Amino acid sequence: MVLGRCPGSMAFRQPKPEIVTCPNCGADVEIWTDEAVGRCLQCSRQVVRRKAEPSCAQWCTHARECLGDAKLRRLLEMMAKPEG
């Protein structure tokens, strides 16, 4: 197995922006795939990105090696948050 090339870890290893609609004013809010929340630039409201997609990091024995301690902990915390 080649660590770091698993598709389940890509959103965290190589984050990309995701556009979420602000529920308060309807503006587009950019939240990166390795983050759970962002701030609307129009109304300053905190916007929560939908729950993180299921990931092999939840069960893979190599997840800590693949992502590192900090990123794995952040991913698991994001997955535990209720959808908002």
The pair of structure tokens assigned to 29 is 């809010």
Higher-confidence residue: 34 or 45? 45
Q: Cα separation of 80 and 52, whole Å?
A: 9
- 48-73, pLDDT tens digit by residue? 876 656 677 778 888 888 888 888 88
Cα–Cα distances (Å) from 57 to 20, 28, 65, 70, 83, in that order, read 24, 29, 10, 13, 19
Q: What is the pLDDT of residue 30?
A: 95
Domain ranges of the chain: 7-80
> Nearest 5 degrees, angle CA 69-CA 74-CA 78?
150
The pair of structure tokens assigned to 32 is 């990166």
pTM of the model: 0.62
